[in-house]
Structure formats: structure tokens, C-alpha cells
Amino acid sequence: MVRVHTPSGDFDYAADNLVQLYDAQGAPHPDFTSAIKRPDARLLTTSIGDGLQDERVANALAVALVERMRTGITAPIYIVACENTITSLWLRTRVEQLSPELAEQRRLGRPLPAVFLPCVIDRTCTKIEIVEDRTVVTASDHATWLIQKGPSPELESILSSATAVRTRFVNNTEMLWCMKLWTVNCLHLAFALIAARNGWNDLHYYARTSKGTVYLHNLVKEIGIMISPRFTDRLRPLLKLLLNRTATQLSRQPDFTSRILRKMWSSPTSFARDSYFKMGIPMDAFLRNGGTRRDVSLLSSINDDMKPIENKGGLLLDFQASLGRPITDIA
């Protein structure tokens, strides 16, 4: 969802109903623009996955931010994209590409109506319910929000009061983002694929079987070996800790293979893009599985340091086996 946070209440725009952001003609929805223009609107968060790449979303945000700027509100609204493969800075670039007025403000060094903050959101949400006027999200016990330190001393109080998860402010989110993709998302996706291959829909139950326990142990070990060279000696113990913590969560938190793998059935290209990031599938495999050169360019622009890891064996072979056919046939 896209959520505009204010002291008097939040304005939610559901990921499966983004017409709340723009109308049938693709123009920004007046209600969304009004929410952004509120003087007490100081935080906007997104959690809509691939929906954030819809140009209409960025355009709605661009128009709303220009309106906020024109009203004379000097306090910026903080925008945090809580996504796995799309960053806040990528969103800022798209918004400014669609708004020459905002781009000119940045070029001239003038105050901008929004500050886009990179973040790493580490929580597994297994269920979302709309209850009356509230959105109830069921998440794993461990839920941490790591946010790039911002330019304002008031930022921490604004963000900390807007969420129930543990919020921490760090100097650099890039390394933590990379580590989280592998220790959480990669492990989760790979294990779900194998659970599905073995006929399990309840991921947490499969993790408790003798076969699932052995596979999960081997998967943790293999991922650690594959990515350890990317981290310093000081960070490797943390890497091991995160892998083991995720493995423990998989057996404790109710979750379902169908939730994790739904992209595989509905959108091979989207699933290939996820796999490219989370499992380190080489570039040629990504392209063969429905990814396009445009996708590759888009992903590369997100983080030039996030290169695909050449997968030499186990994970990629298990990935193939989980589908029951060669990886080149996904699309």
C-alpha cells in the first residue's frame, strides 16, 4: 500500500486498488493530492512492489509534490519506499523525470518538498486484512526498519512514532540491503520452491519435517559460502546470525508457498526479476526467463554495486528441479 502518515490519522491507498492514486484518465486523484498537501503530512511510505514502477504512480506523486511546494509549505514530507527491489532514490529519479519543476528546484539548490530516504525493511508479512477503517498486517516476530539517517533532527521522532516495528537509523543502507536480500528473501524464495516441489503448501510445517530441516540447514550453509566473499571478516558473523535467524523464523511463523510463489504463476517476467535479485541467477538466465534488456537496465540503475553472483551449483540446480523443467522454460 501507499500510506500518508499524519498525527491525526493515516491515509491508505491499497496496492490492489491504485485507482485511489489516479483517476481513469491517469491524472492524479484529487484526494491523494489533498493528502500530500496537508501541512501535517510529514511521511509517506510505499509497499506495493512492482506497482511502484507504474508511471502513473510516480506522476501522481510528482503532481502532488508540486502542489505541496506551491502552497508554501516549507517542511518537507519524508518519502520511504519499503520495497525489495526498488529504492527510494530510484523513485525520486522517476518523480523528477516526470516533473521538470521539481528537477529544476534540485538543479538550482532550492528547498524541495520531499526528502527520499533509502531504507531496508526486514519483516515477513504473511497476511493483510482490511478491518473497518484499519489495515491489519500479520508479520513475523522480528520486524526491523533500517532507515538512512536524514538531514533533519526531527526525522527520528516523526518516523519512530509512525510505526510499531523497531526503527533504527544507519549511515549506509546499501550493504544492509544486499545482505537482507540474501539472508531473508533468497532463503525464503529458495525454500518455498523446494517445499512446493515436495507437495507442501504450509511452508512452516515443511520446515519442521526431517527432510525440510535437513534441506534448510544445507541451504543456509550454501548461501553463506556463496556470499561470504562479498563481506568483510567483521561482517561475516552477522551474516551467519541473520541466516540462522531467518531459518528459525521459517519454522515458527505460519506462511504458505502459494503466497511466496504467486508471481511465478501470474507473471514469469516479474518472478524472473525477483529471482535475479534474490537468488543471484546470472544475467543470461534472467533474460531467458522473460526478463528484458529494459528490466536489466532498470535493475542496474537501482544499485550499480549489486551484481548477480555466478551460481555454480546447488541453488540454481534446486531452482530448476523445483519447477520440474529446465530453467529456460519458465516463460
Q: Please report, as a single letter, which amino acid is at residue 257.
A: T
**Range scoring the smallest mean pLDDT among 213-222, 226-235, 301-310:** 301-310
**Range scoring the smallest mean pLDDT among 30-34, 258-262, 292-296:** 292-296
Looking at per-residue confidence, does 261 or 269 come out higher? 261
Residue written as grid cell 522473460 = 290
Residue 266: alpha-carbon gap to chain centroid: 19
The burial of 246, by beta-carbon neighbours within 10 Å (0-12 exposed, 13-18 middle, 19 or more buried), is given as: buried
Can you tell me the distance from the alpha carbon of 86 to that of 107, in angstroms, rounded to the nearest whole number? 24
pLDDT digits (tens, 9 = 90+) for 106-126: 998 888 899 888 887 766 665
Mean pLDDT of 316-327: 42
Residue 206 confidence (pLDDT): 92
Mean pLDDT of 297-319: 42
**Position 77 pLDDT exceeds 70:** yes
What is residue 182's DSSP assignment? Answer: I
CATH 1.10.1040 residue window(s) in the chain: 174-329
Three-state DSSP at 4 gives strand
For the domain 174-329, what is the CATH code?
1.10.1040
* Residue 104 pLDDT grade (very low, low, confident, very high; cuts 50, 70, 90): very high
* Residue 304 pLDDT grade (very low, low, confident, very high; cuts 50, 70, 90): very low
**Position 214 pLDDT exceeds 90:** no
Residue 118 confidence (pLDDT): 83
Strand partners, 78: 43, 115
Residue 201: alpha-carbon gap to chain centroid: 23
Looking at per-residue confidence, does 48 or 158 come out higher? 48
**Percentage, residues of the chain above pLDDT 90:** 8
Looking at per-residue confidence, does 183 or 137 come out higher? 183
CATH 3.40.50.720 given to domain 2-170: yes
Q: How far is CA 308 from CA 85, 272, 288, 297, in A?
A: 13, 13, 15, 13
**Position 324 pLDDT exceeds 50:** no
The secondary structure element, H or E, covering residue 125 is strand 125-131
Residue 134 confidence (pLDDT): 56
Q: Please report, as a single letter, which amino acid is at residue 266.
A: S
Can you tell me the distance from the alpha carbon of 125 to that of 253, in angstroms, rounded to the nearest whole number? 10
CA Rg, the chain, in Å? 20
DSSP annotation string for 46-70? E--GGGGG-HHHHHHHHHHHHHHHH
Q: Per the structure block, which three cell numbers stand in for 156?
A: 527520528
State the pTM of this model. Answer: 0.69
CATH 3.40.50.720 residue window(s) in the chain: 2-170
